[in-house]
Structures are given as structure tokens and as C-alpha cells.
Amino acid sequence: MPVKIFADGAVLADMVALYRSGSGVSGFTTNPTLMKKAGVRDYERFAKDVLAEITDLPISFEVFSDELAEMERQARKIASWGGNVYVKIPVTNTKGVSTAPILRRLSSAGVRLNVTAVFTTVQTEHLVQHLAPTTPCIISIFAGRIANAGVDPMPIMKRAVEIAKVLPACEILWASPREALNVIQAEECGCHIITMTPDILAGLRTFGKDLAQYSLETVQMFYQDAQSAGFTL
């Protein structure tokens, strides 16, 4: 597929297995929430262990300060860990203050950025004014969460792709997918990348499956589960 798939997670063994399996994954993303869930305690050690194994695909590691000056310091340190590192920086801090000033400085200095937690067209329009045109960057738009709010994300994603064309090195990423179908939707919108968790990646194995056969297999699953549970009436 034209859209690139980035695996989203923070379990080292899973990341390395995907990297070595020839699964078609083109990159990796992490975030503090995934790291906490995976039991990561030493942020830097985890990141360096990942980078020691995955040397030639892009990997995003996120800053975790809420103060812009400290975000910038963390970003420069994270960027120094490897040439395939993208630094994830949220579009605002927890107080709603835009991170655009540090994005401008970092991008101008050649730091590869992944701007995350983007939800609106206005945010995307603002971001492209502060990112260097020749420094690779990613704008991660949370299409899945937009859909959870009862809003169709596809017009927002399509518009973001158009807006980002002023930056030749910028890619739009469909973030927080909810199902395998989102891969097709991301492609229809012209997105460059979609992130996928392991469970959604597993769902790609059923692409192109005959629906009648899929129906039969589902009925068989229900029957077999009822039998193995020993249900009686």
C-alpha cells in the first residue's frame, strides 16, 4: 500500500520481532503512556536499547516536560541518540500554550520532529508556518479520537495533506486508528503514514478475505467456544 505503516508500542521484544519479521512495517512510534503500560522505568535506557536493535527505520520518542524550555532541552538530547530518531512534541502543553516557538527553533536546527496530539485544521495550518521546509517532520493527527468525538476525520485528514504540501519534507500521519479499515481510509485521504498497534496490525491478515467464509468461521468460533465452556440449558 502507498501509505506507510508505523508500529505503535513500547514493548522492546515486540518491536524487534516486527522489525526482523519482514512484516512491512516502515517505522515505529512510542509515547509515555505506552511506555508506562509496558512497564518501562528507565526512559533513556529503553530508547537506546531500541535504537541498538532498530538502526535504519524511523522511531519517534516523545518529550515529557510541560515547560517549553525543558521540552526543547529534552528534544535536543533525544535527537542526539540516533539519525533515525524523530522527536515527538505535543502541539501544546497541558495549559494549552502552543509549542510552535520551540518547533521553529528545533526544525530550523535540523531536528526531525513528530508533532503529536493534533486534532484540528487550524492547528495544522499554524504548524506548517513554523516547520522548516527541508527538515523531515511528521504531523500526527488523531483521526481515531476525532471519530470518537462524533466527527468524520476524513475531511480533516484530506485538508491536512493539502496544507502540508507547502513543506516538501512533511508527512501527515493518521494516528489513533481503531480498526484495519483505517488503513484504506488513510490511503484515500492521501496520508503518508498510519500508526497501528499490534492488535490492529494482526487484523490486516484478514484483508481480502471472502465474507461468506468469514461468516462461517465466526459461527464456528461461537459454537466451539460454547462447547469448550460446557454450556447447558
Measured CA to CA, the distance from residue 39 to residue 61 in angstroms comes to: 16
> Which one from 4, 88, 158, 209 is the annotated catalytic residue?
88
Contact in structure between 76 and 110 (CB atoms under 8 Å): no
Residue 22 DSSP code: T
DSSP state string for 121-159: HHHHHHHHTTS-TTS-EEEEE-HHHHHHTT--HHHHHHH
Measured CA to CA, the distance from residue 144 to residue 232 in angstroms comes to: 40
Verify whether residue 88 is a known catalytic residue. yes
Measured CA to CA, the distance from residue 151 to residue 138 in angstroms comes to: 23
Enumerate the active-site residues.
Answer: 88
